[in-house]
Amino acid sequence: MMVQKKTRGQLIVLSGPSGVGKSTVISELLGQRQDIYFSVSFTTRQPRMGEADGVNYNFVDRAEFERMIAAGELLEHAEYVGNYYGTSLKVIQEKLDAGIDVLLDIEVQGAAKVRAKCPEAVLIFIIPPSFEELSRRLRGRNTDSEETIAGRLQKAREEYQQIPNYDYLVVNDKVSAAAAEIIAILLAEDCRTRNRLHLVEGI
């Protein structure tokens, strides 16, 4: 079926605890849905090995981040484990106005702010098959101390409290299945009446 292009892009928010495999799911999703724009956030945290400025994040110092907050340049921002993270308002607006879907990988406080400012955004939370599996995945990285892992698990418990505020819950048991669930969600969102009213205008 040939459907006329939608007038506005869909804002998609993805959250999930550290260790759930969110970045892998996002890579799989973006590989299959190359029309989705991934929003590169601003952060004050230090780049990790292999991360590049402008690709994984825009790395800035606290003074610059605070300037951006004061200037109203961020759609949302949050402090997470001692660092600032935020989403550029201008870039998001331009893409959505151009009818392009935009994906945000943000934590739960930021997601709540997006929900308040953009009620039509679709909020998706990714969980592992079980909490024990999350613990196994965090230990499997072999990079963090037991204390760090315990901290991440506690943070995950807190983040789970916010799950009822999300529209969809995706289980990352297998990456391809999790990406397929997200693609199905986005297709359903595209079919929402409010997103298709332009098809019946003027009749």
Annotated binding site for ATP: 16-23
For residues 25 and 106, which CB has a smaller minimum distance to ligand 5GP in the complex? 106
Smallest distance from ligand 5GP to CB 19, Å: 10
- The residue whose Cβ lies closest to ligand 5GP is 110
3-state secondary structure labels for all residues of the chain: CCCCCCCCCCEEEEECCCCCCHHHHHHHHHHHCCCCEECCCEECCCCCCCCCECCCEEECCHHHHHHHHHCCCEEEEEEECCEEEEEEHHHHHHHHHCCCCEEEECCHHHHHHHHHHCCCCEEEEEECCCHHHHHHHHHHCCCCCHHHHHHHHHHHHHHHCCHHHCCEEEECCCHHHHHHHHHHHHHHHHCCHHHHHHHHCCC
- Is 126 a residue that touches ligand 5GP (CB under 6 A)? no
Q: What is the contact mask toward ligand 5GP in residues 6 to 25, using x (rule: CB under 6 A)?
A: --------------------
Q: Which of residues 155-184 bind ligand 5GP (CB under 6 A)?
A: none
For residues 10 and 87, which CB has a smaller minimum distance to ligand 5GP in the complex? 87
According to CB under 6 A, which one of 11, 26, 65, 87 is a site residue for ligand 5GP? 87
For residues 60 and 171, which CB has a smaller minimum distance to ligand 5GP in the complex? 60
Closest CA to 76 of 35, 30, 123: 123
Distance CA 189, CA 68 (A): 32
Smallest distance from ligand 5GP to CB 43, Å: 6
According to CB under 6 A, which one of 76, 101, 181, 189 is a site residue for ligand 5GP? 76
According to CB under 6 A, which one of 25, 86, 103, 126 is a site residue for ligand 5GP? 86
Chain residues binding ligand 5GP by CB under 6 A are 41, 45, 76, 78, 80, 85-87, 105-107, 109-110
